[in-house]
Structure 1
């Protein structure tokens, strides 16, 4: 395609007799005008082609979303749409996994009953299908994501699965183990694993006042029968010491269990895996939330130091 200069040079070759300046100037202006018109037409044509392509793609994309809800496209939209998934933030991979082997463990102040029970019944009544320790894990996940630490919070109803399959309470760890194995296999970015419970201790042992506010104390449980015992104990001790430095007395320390009866608490699957008791039967959810908010910051500090 010839440009304006080529056309003007060709004109000069066609008219070697040196035409008048007025004629040359007028002709040059005419040619420039026509060249600009030709450029506009080409741009308009390209724009039309691009617009048509965009419209076709938009139509296909919309059809996939609305008429094929199970497609991969729908999954991609969900993962980038800021939905309620706790798998990550800012497109980062999850580094903390939170789950609950005893998901219906609850807190007496959160339950609707005011009746007086014997000591045994009192403790056995601290269970709920809705207001339970799962909410504590949810708050920890929220607090982590707020400070840019992506996490997975597993809200699987372990108690419901036990009932459905005719299994017993001690089988809880076997059921939760299946989910944990699957998550670890699919997310090699996981660096910390926490199975969150609540203890059966009374308020005097499970609560501490810090700066005029009540906090549910946290306890770290390490299985002595796990092959990762040493690594997990070191991890638990690190968390305990970090909490003691920030909020003395908030941690109830590191406890070793799992010998009688033998139980790894699934800690053999990861070397930074712990069972946490956050609060006891007489704590409130609000008190546990204060603790998880503090604990989230401790986890972030440790993750940053280990980079």
Structure 2
């Protein structure tokens, strides 16, 4: 009888303790599963988000350039030869304005928006005096960070071509009219850009040419804006590839100059 009572007591005790034992065993598993779920729900935090000194790409408002071609018919002999045109230093279609799309694309790549003077074919605008009112009107209605009047030099290949490594480039030269009161502003900007060009490809800029006196314009419409630059891009012997390479360098140099101004 005593043995039966003892067995009954043991069974009752086990029944009483069973829920507690089961709860004790299961609790760590539940807790572990909950922690794993929480870990999965937690967003991933990258190191850059934790480091207050991490570099952050600054979104800079694009700069604006205005571009026109006073002597729009200036042509390049190798380009005319390649298209089987009559060899001439001037052409109504295959001329320096053919590079307008390349200029726009390269400048846009470096966050510089470009607007061009759309010439009216019914009006003759191939000298500084006739083109002046159109440039003046454009500058009166919009603000630009830089203005380019792009030309082709009349010099030969030995002056206008640079061999750098395995590539050849059309050289630049900046022309400054020294016969207006504020020409030093234009000259300083030209010097800055010339330096940026030569940092990228040493020797690609031939520097600055200040012109004044009898037989030259002496102003080149640069009195309209302190940031208006007359630039000669290559010469009559430069190829399309050389000019395209130089346009890419010009776009990068302009961008670098703007970023340098922001930093200072």
TM-score, normalised on structure 2? 0.70
Aligned to 1:210: 164
Describe how 1:5-24 pairs up with structure 2 within 5 A: none
What residue number does 1:128 align with? 91
Alpha-carbon distance in structure 2 between the residues aligned to 1:114 and 1:100: 22
**What corresponds to 1:98 in structure 2?**
67
Aligned pair partner of 2:252 in 268, 281, 297: 297
Q: CA deviation at 1:114?
A: 8.2
Q: CA deviation at 1:110?
A: 1.3
* Structure 1 residues 262 and 132: CA distance shift in structure 2, 3 A: closer
Matched, 1:266 2:221: yes
Asked if 1 retains the 8 angstrom alpha-carbon contact of 2:65 and 2:114, the reply is yes
In structure 2, C-alpha distance between the alignment counterparts of 1:156 and 1:104, rounded to whole Å: 12
CA distance in 1, matches of 2:173, 2:64: 21
The aligned residue for residue 233 of structure 2 is 278
Aligned partner (choices 192, 195, 201) of residue 146 of structure 2: 192
Do the aligned residues in 2 keep the contact of 1:110 with 1:284 (CA within 8 Å)? Answer: yes
How much does 1:259 deviate?
A: 2.7
Structure 1: 5+ residue runs without aligned partners?
Answer: 1-91, 116-121
Work out whether 1:161 is the aligned partner of 2:115. Answer: no
Q: Which residue of the partner structure matches residue 147 of structure 1?
A: 110
Aligned-pair Cα RMSD in Å: 2.2
In 2, Cα distance between the equivalents of 1:174 and 1:246?
35
Change (3 A) 1:209 1:173: same
- Give how far 1:306 is off: 2.0
Q: 1:246 aligns with which of 189, 200, 209?
A: 200
- TM-score normalised by the chain length of structure 1: 0.60
For 2:222 and 2:209, locate their aligned partners in 1 and report how far apart those are by CA, in whole Å.
Answer: 14
- Tell me, in whole angstroms, the C-alpha distance in 1 between the residues paired with 2:236 and 2:78: 8
More strand by share: 2
Structure 1 SS opposite 2:123: helix
The answer on whether the counterparts of 1:94 and 1:187 sit within 8 Å (CA) in structure 2 is no
Task: Please state which structure has a larger fraction of its residues in helix.
Answer: 1
Q: Distance in 2 between matches of 1:138 and 1:199?
A: 20
Give the equivalent residue in structure 2 for 1:231.
185
Structure 1 distance, partners of 2:63, 2:110, is 13
Residue 161 of structure 1: how far off its partner (Å): 2.1
- Cα 1:136–1:208 shift into 2, 3 Å: same
Q: Give 1:130 deviation, angstroms.
A: 1.2
Which secondary structure state, in structure 1, belongs to the residue aligned with residue 238 of structure 2? Answer: coil
Moved runs in structure 1, 4+ residues, more than 4 A?
112-115
Paired residues of 2:62 and 2:111 also in contact (CA < 8 A):
no
Q: 1:211: Cα distance to partner?
A: 2.3
What is the rounded CA distance, in whole Å, between the counterparts of 2:236 and 2:230 in structure 1? 17
In the alignment, structure 1 residue 183 sits paired with structure 2 residue 146: no
SS, match of residue 112 in structure 2: coil
